[in-house]
């Protein structure tokens, strides 16, 4: 099960958002956020697949 992985990625997203400036975030921050959101989506899909398979 990837529940721990999902929680870790969610925590990373929260940490990134804490560093987010109030104005004009750099393109690097946007890229990091996109990558983390993609990883989160994949981990959640894997987690759902595991549950459907009965694992």
Q: What is the pLDDT of residues 11-43, one digit of tens each?
A: 999 999 999 998 998 999 999 999 999 999 999
Q: What are 13-21's contacts with CB under 8 Å, separation 24+?
A: 13/37, 13/40
**What are the extents of the domains in the chain?**
3-52
Could you tell me which residue, 17 or 55, shows the higher pLDDT?
17
pLDDT of residue 15: 97
Give the Cα separation of 23 and 2 in Å (integer).
34
Question: Sorting pLDDT into bands at 50, 70 and 90, what band is 49?
Answer: confident
From the number of C-beta atoms within 10 Å of its C-beta (0-12, 13-18, 19+), residue 23 rates as exposed
CB 6 within 8 A of CB 44: yes
Please check the confidence at residue 54 and state whether its pLDDT lies above 70.
no
pTM over 0.85? The answer is no
């Amino acid at each position: 099960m990837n529940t721990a992985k999902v929680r870790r990625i969610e925590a990373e997203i929260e940490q990134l958002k804490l560093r987010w400036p109030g104005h004009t975030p750099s393109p690097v921050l946007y890229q990091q956020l996109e990558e983390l959101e993609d990883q989160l989506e994949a981990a959640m899909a894997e987690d759902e697949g595991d549950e459907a398979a009965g694992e």
